[in-house]
């Protein structure tokens, strides 16, 4: 914190790199500075600004797990409001969360054109806690404040100015001077807390009705604080807000979301590299199928020069964006900086393609594969320079799904690995490093989940019962609805490919194969695990499938029994944890957090539970062991590693997985 004198104006600069986030130390220094300048006998105004690129970007989330250290932010803001002279916040970079709340405690706000303001709290399972809901409603009105608090979106300088959130936009070079002039000329305080209680806001129900259909309780609470706060005295409203904030801060939900935030940081750090990378401007996508078409659109939307090649002109017809160059000939990729292949999931096809590509691209161009399951090291043998090649595994639909697994092969150079990681980040994705193993991280864990879902059906549950139980658990859609949505054919062809090498002692449920054999390939075929009559929004149970399941049970010698919701949830959750333990044990995942990140971002595992492992860690040890034992019993051969659980002991590989959370 530095203090400078400009005649009768004090300029306080927050100096806590890298982003001036609120910590006990930062708040203490800020309060000291306010107290110090407040004692100047000739003081006529104060400017609070930043010594760095950002004004004040949120709070240090690490502090949130325990009691917050003094001084807490409300006292710092109260000290600003208690000064007799006007205080102007001079904003640049990020003013988020506590940073925006602090700025709202000042009497006026000026900002550079690049500033971004917002209340990200809802994304962390909490609500603003230092007057954000109270002061914003008094400054910009209930409706606008409701929007900012419940969406957490960032607003730009011009929007902030038209909302009245900031008073003036000033070029960076003139920011401080203008703030000083304003502090000297405002004359009197403009304390937002002095705006008195109004009559209740009339549009309460209408505003709450605008919340997204599926929203977390804290989102509604934040909105309600904005609405109810306007009809209370400021001190009552501030107290109510702080109480909610303190309750939510220590909730499991907020703990989960913070955990995922840190997992993202660790994954990003693991992918960061000092290796110099060549900039990627022109990208080639090979294959314009489900994934290729989406990938081409993603690259084009993000401003890359994009070319897409497919052997079938029909496939290219689905590219409708003029910005994307389409071709049936590979040589359009000659001057690409990176080429990613999304052709058929077939080693021979990929080998032939990579060999041809290597012959025509620049020696420094990067080659990547979007394969879901194939061995990247084996794929690399097609290349004379495998150091330039690696996996970049996107998920369907690639424009919307946030997850990308970055998979270096044994020969992949540091430079290539760095370039793949940087590209994923530049595309706005959450990049998770993965080693090589069947299905990498996400698909591998999800496969355990899906297989267990099929065991449950063979044991007696109906697909709809399984789906309903998992929707109650928190998944947006149950496993059978998901399978119907994405199509049953990909997994079917994989099962056929692996059939000859499958251990015959492993439990195998053949219901999905039988569905596929009768053409029930999912929603796109009009039938899968469910029937899809004209106009139905979701699938409906189909007597034909019920019969087929009955026959498969009889053939497998299983007498169906009724299975309750909690057993379904326990076994499916346990199966994901078992998959996660195997993925960590084999080294395919380096960190427990990477697995939870992959499942929440790529497979819609509820973020508020923190991911399968984080959620599992909150269960009692008895419940954990009973879930693992149930998974073990469902197929003792596949799950030998869980045998300890059936004797009441924690299997070491699960223990290791859980230990990974502590770090
Ligand atoms: P797809 O079958 O929908 O499309 C493949 C396209 O590649 C077809 O249009 C085909 O004409 C074209 N193609 C095949 N060989 C070619 C060649 N030598 N040169 C030029 N074009 C060629 O396949 P999909 O589902 O898009 O999968 C592509 C790859 O992405 C696979 O490796 C798959 O494992 C992977 N993947 C698929 C996901 C999915 O959900 N569908 C998700 C993530 C990865």
Query: What is the per-residue pLDDT for 197?
Result: 79
Q: Which of 63, 70, 114, 121 is catalytic?
A: 121
- Residue 662, pLDDT > 80, answer no
Ligand 1 centre from 371 Cα, in Å?
A: 9
Ligand 1 centre from 293 Cα, in Å?
A: 9
pLDDT in tens, 110-148: 999 999 999 999 999 999 999 999 999 999 999 999 999
CB 493 less than 6 A from any atom of ligand 1? no
Ligand 1 centre from 342 Cα, in Å?
A: 4
Residues 6+ positions from 299 with CB-CB distance below 8 Å: 283, 285, 306, 427
CB 293 less than 6 A from any atom of ligand 1? no
CB 344 less than 6 A from any atom of ligand 1? yes
- Residue 663, pLDDT > 70, answer no
d(CA 191, CA 393): 52
Task: Ligand 1, residue 341: give the atom nearest the CA.
Answer: 29
pLDDT in tens, 219-272: 999 999 999 999 999 999 999 999 999 999 999 999 999 999 999 999 999 999
| Residues 299 and 286: beta-carbon distance below 8 Å | no
pLDDT in tens, 495-522: 898 899 999 999 999 999 999 999 999 9
Ligand 1 centre from 289 Cα, in Å?
A: 5
Query: What is the per-residue pLDDT for 493?
Result: 87
Ligand 1, from 343, 348, 494: best to mutate by most atoms within 8 Å of Cβ?
343
Residues 6+ positions from 434 with CB-CB distance below 8 Å: 391, 393, 405, 406, 407, 440, 441, 588, 589, 594, 598
How is the chain split into domains, by residue range? 2-249, 282-433, 442-662
CB 342 less than 6 A from any atom of ligand 1? yes
Per DSSP, the three-state class of 604 is: coil
| CATH code of the region 2-249 | 3.90.226.10
Residues 6+ positions from 237 with CB-CB distance below 8 Å: 133, 134, 225, 228, 229, 230
In degrees, to the nearest 5, what angle opens at C-alpha 482 toward C-alphas 481 and 488?
95
465 is catalytic: no
CB 333 less than 6 A from any atom of ligand 1? no
Higher pLDDT, 187 or 390: 390
pLDDT in tens, 45-96: 999 999 999 999 999 998 998 899 999 999 999 999 999 999 999 999 999 9
Query: What is the per-residue pLDDT for 513?
Result: 97
Task: Ligand 1, residue 373: give the atom nearest the CA.
Answer: 34
CB 287 less than 6 A from any atom of ligand 1? yes
| CATH code of the region 442-662 | 1.10.1040.50
Residue whose C-alpha is closest to residue 572's, from 634, 502, 510: 634
CB 371 less than 6 A from any atom of ligand 1? yes
Stretch 262-284: mean pLDDT: 93
CB 311 less than 6 A from any atom of ligand 1? yes
Ligand 1 centre from 267 Cα, in Å?
A: 27
Ligand 1 centre from 121 Cα, in Å?
A: 40
| Residues 350 and 369: beta-carbon distance below 8 Å | yes
Does the CA dihedral 55-57-58-64 come out positive or negative? negative
CB 354 less than 6 A from any atom of ligand 1? no
Stretch 302-306: mean pLDDT: 98
Ligand 1 centre from 199 Cα, in Å?
A: 60
Query: What is the per-residue pLDDT for 449?
Result: 98
Task: Ligand 1, residue 486: give the atom nearest the CA.
Answer: 40
Radius of gyration of the chain (CA): 28
Computed over every residue of the chain, the mean pLDDT equals 96
pLDDT in tens, 544-600: 999 999 999 999 999 999 999 999 999 999 999 999 999 999 999 999 999 999 999
| CATH code of the region 282-433 | 3.40.50.720
Kindly state the percentage of the chain with pLDDT values over 70: 100
Q: Which of 4, 63, 81, 101 is catalytic?
A: 101
CB 312 less than 6 A from any atom of ligand 1? yes
Ligand 1 centre from 400 Cα, in Å?
A: 18
Strand ranges in 316-429 using DSSP code E only, listed in sequence order: 324-327, 338-341, 366-369, 389-394, 403-408
CB 289 less than 6 A from any atom of ligand 1? yes
Ligand 1, from 289, 348, 355, 368: best to mutate by most atoms within 8 Å of Cβ?
289
CB 483 less than 6 A from any atom of ligand 1? no
Q: Whose Cα sits closest to atom 12 in ligand 1?
A: 287
**Which DSSP letter does residue 653 get?**
H
Ligand 1 centre from 455 Cα, in Å?
A: 30
Q: Whose Cα sits closest to atom 4 in ligand 1?
A: 289
Query: What is the per-residue pLDDT for 199?
Result: 85
In degrees, to the nearest 5, what angle opens at C-alpha 499 toward C-alphas 493 and 503?
145
Per DSSP, the three-state class of 324 is: strand
CB 353 less than 6 A from any atom of ligand 1? yes
Q: What's the token pair of residue 623?
A: 């419940």
Query: What is the per-residue pLDDT for 390?
Result: 98
Task: Ligand 1, residue 369: give the atom nearest the CA.
Answer: 32
Stretch 386-405: mean pLDDT: 97
Within a 10 A sphere around the Cβ of 360, how many other Cβ atoms? 15
Ligand 1 centre from 344 Cα, in Å?
A: 4
Stretch 351-374: mean pLDDT: 96
pLDDT in tens, 25-34: 999 999 999 9
Residue whose C-alpha is closest to residue 328's, from 345, 344, 341, 311: 311
Task: Ligand 1, residue 396: give the atom nearest the CA.
Answer: 40
Query: What is the per-residue pLDDT for 497?
Result: 86
CB 349 less than 6 A from any atom of ligand 1? yes
d(CA 116, CA 97): 11
Does the CA dihedral 344-345-346-352 come out positive or negative? positive
Stretch 198-215: mean pLDDT: 91
101 is catalytic: yes
Ligand 1, from 284, 285, 287: best to mutate by most atoms within 8 Å of Cβ?
287
């Amino acid at each position: 914190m530095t203090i400078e004198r400009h005649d009768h104006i004090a300029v306080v600069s927050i100096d806590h790199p890298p982003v001036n986030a609120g910590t006990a130390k930062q708040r203490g220094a800020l309060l000291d500075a306010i107290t110090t300048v407040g004692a100047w006998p000739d003081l006529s105004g104060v400017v609070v600004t930043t010594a760095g690129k950002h004004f004040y970007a949120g709070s240090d989330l690490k502090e949130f797990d325990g009691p917050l250290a003094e001084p807490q932010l409300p006292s710092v803001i109260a000290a600003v409001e208690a000064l007799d002279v006007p205080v102007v916040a001079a904003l640049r970079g990020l003013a988020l969360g506590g940073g925006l709340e602090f700025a709202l405690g000042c009497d006026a706000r000026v900002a550079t054109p690049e500033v971004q303001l917002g209340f990200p709290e809802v994304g962390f399972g909490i609500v603003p806690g230092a007057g954000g809901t109270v002061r914003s409603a008094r400054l910009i009105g209930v409706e606008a404040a409701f929007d900012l608090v419940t969406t957490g979106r960032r607003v730009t300088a011009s929007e902030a100015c038209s909302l009245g959130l900031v008073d003036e936009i000033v070029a960076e070079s003139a920011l401080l001077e203008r703030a000083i002039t304003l502090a000297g000329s405002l004359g009197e305080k403009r304390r937002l807390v002095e705006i008195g209680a109004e009559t209740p806001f009339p549009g309460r129900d209408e505003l709450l009705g605008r919340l997204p259909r599926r929203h977390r309780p804290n989102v509604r609470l934040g909105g309600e604080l904005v609405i109810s706060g306007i009809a209370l005295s400021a001190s009552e409203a501030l107290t109510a807000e702080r109480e909610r904030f303190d309750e939510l801060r220590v909730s499991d939900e907020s703990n989960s979301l913070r955990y995922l935030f840190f997992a993202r940081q660790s994954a990003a750090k693991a992918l960061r590299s000092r290796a110099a990378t060549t900039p990627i401007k022109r990208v080639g996508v090979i294959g314009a199928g489900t994934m290729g078409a989406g990938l081409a659109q993603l690259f084009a939307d993000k401003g890359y020069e994009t070319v897409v090649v497919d052997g079938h002109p029909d496939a290219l017809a689905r590219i409708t964006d003029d910005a994307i160059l389409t071709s049936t000939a590979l040589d359009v990729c000659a001057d690409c900086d990176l080429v990613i292949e999304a052709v058929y999931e077939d080693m021979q096809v990929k080998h032939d393609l990579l060999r041809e590509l290597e012959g025509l691209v620049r020696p420094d161009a990067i080659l990547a594969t979007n394969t879901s399951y194939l061995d990247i090291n084996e794929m690399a043998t097609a290349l004379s320079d495998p150091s330039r090649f690696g996996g970049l595994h996107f998920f369907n639909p690639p424009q919307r799904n946030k997850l990308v697994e970055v998979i270096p092969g044994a020969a992949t150079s540091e430079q290539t690995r760095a370039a793949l990681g940087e590209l994923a980040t530049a595309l706005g994705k959450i990049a998770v490093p993965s080693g090589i193993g069947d299905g990498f991280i996400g698909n591998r864990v999800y496969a355990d989940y899906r297989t267990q879902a099929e065991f449950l059906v063979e044991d007696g549950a109906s697909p709809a019962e399984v789906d309903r139980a998992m929707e109650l658990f928190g998944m947006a859609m149950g496993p059978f609805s998901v399978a119907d949505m994405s199509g049953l054919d990909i997994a079917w062809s994989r099962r056929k490919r692996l059939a000859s090498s499958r251990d015959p002692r492993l439990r195998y449920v053949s219901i999905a194969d039988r569905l596929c054999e009768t053409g029930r390939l999912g929603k796109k075929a009009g039938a899968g695990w469910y029937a899809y009559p004209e106009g139905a929004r979701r699938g409906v149970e189909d007597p034909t499938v019920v019969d087929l399941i009955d026959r498969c049970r009889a053939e497998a010698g299983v007498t169906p029994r009724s299975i309750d919701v909690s057993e379904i949830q326990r076994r499916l959750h346990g199966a994901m944890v078992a998959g996660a333990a195997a993925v960590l044990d084999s080294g395919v995942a380096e960190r427990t957090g990477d697995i939870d990140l992959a499942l929440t971002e790529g497979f819609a595992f509820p973020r508020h539970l923190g991911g399968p492992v984080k959620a599992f860690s909150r269960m009692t040890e008895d419940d954990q062991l009973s879930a693992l034992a149930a998974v073990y019993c469902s197929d003792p051969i596949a799950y030998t590693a869980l045998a300890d659980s059936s004797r009441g002991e924690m299997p070491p590989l699960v223990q290791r997985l859980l230990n990974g959370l502590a770090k």
